[in-house]
Chains A and B, each alone.
Chain A
Amino acid sequence: GQQLNQSPQSMFIQEGEDVSMNCTSSSIFNTWLWYKQDPGEGPVLLIALYKAGELTSNGRLTAQFGITRKDSFLNISASIPSDVGIYFCAGDKAAGNKLTFGGGTRVLVKP
């Protein structure tokens, strides 16, 4: 079954806001990746993290690999409408190069 828990499951953003989401597990992961999926398309890799404590940015996105190796978070700063989509975390437990995916955080625009 699913071993990565993402929260929140969904969130509303207002343009200009900073938002944060996280991914937790009871198991240790050696690699954390964050993907974004737009409707009708495949997931696109945003950020890859390879070391505990690592903090990596990609434009307005910042992700961190938790010190315990059991969690990761993703921040989006100054959100814009095209940030809408589903964000997935994925981790590797050194069992070959098979990834385990979280259930996703759906980001929506505040009406």
Chain B
Amino acid sequence: NAGVTQTPKFQVLKTGQSMTLQCAQDMNHNSMYWYRQDPGMGLRLIYYSASEGTTDKGEVPNGYNVSRLNKREFSLRLESAAPSQTSVYFCALSLATTSYEQYFGPGTRLTVT
């Protein structure tokens, strides 16, 4: 996970609360991703950003928004948290849009009650 930091590591929210998960990199990689991991489901892509200022939806974008204001940071926002969003969230990077090797952060464990 060297080079990718995620904050916070753990968070508990009540239904309807909002929060932003932060991801920052020092690897100078162009593409950044947000995944969620649920038991038995592997990793599912929420949103990704091929480069600074661009974002695209992944497989499960509903209920989330993202922001890529600079090359280093990619944030994921839950505007109104729901229990179905209880999950472990991972940020990942890849060097370029033509690179399929993705490198993951340590994760944020989110519980929505």
| Interfacial residues, chain A to chain B (CB-CB below 8 A) | 2, 4, 9, 31, 33, 35, 40-45, 48, 88, 90, 92, 96-99, 101-104
Once bound together, how far apart are the Cα atoms of A110 and B4, in whole Å?
34
Q: Closest approach, in angstroms, between the C-beta of A6 and any C-beta of chain B?
A: 8
User: In the assembled complex, which residues on chain B have CB atoms less than 8 Å from the CB atom of A102?
Assistant: 42
User: In the assembled complex, which residues on chain A have CB atoms less than 8 Å from the CB atom of B42?
Assistant: 2, 4, 88, 101-104
Q: A-B contact count, CB below 8 Å? A: 63
Once bound together, how far apart are the Cα atoms of A33 and B100, in whole Å?
8
Once bound together, how far apart are the Cα atoms of A45 and B13, in whole Å?
31
Q: Closest approach, in angstroms, between the C-beta of A28 and any C-beta of chain B?
A: 15
Would A97 and B98 count as touching, CB distance under 8 A?
Answer: yes
Name the one of B31, B40, B44, B106 contacting A42, with C-beta atoms under 8 angstroms.
Answer: B106
Q: Closest approach, in angstroms, between the C-beta of B56 and any C-beta of chain A?
A: 8
| B75 located at the interface, meaning its Cβ lies under 8 Å from any Cβ of chain A in the complex | no
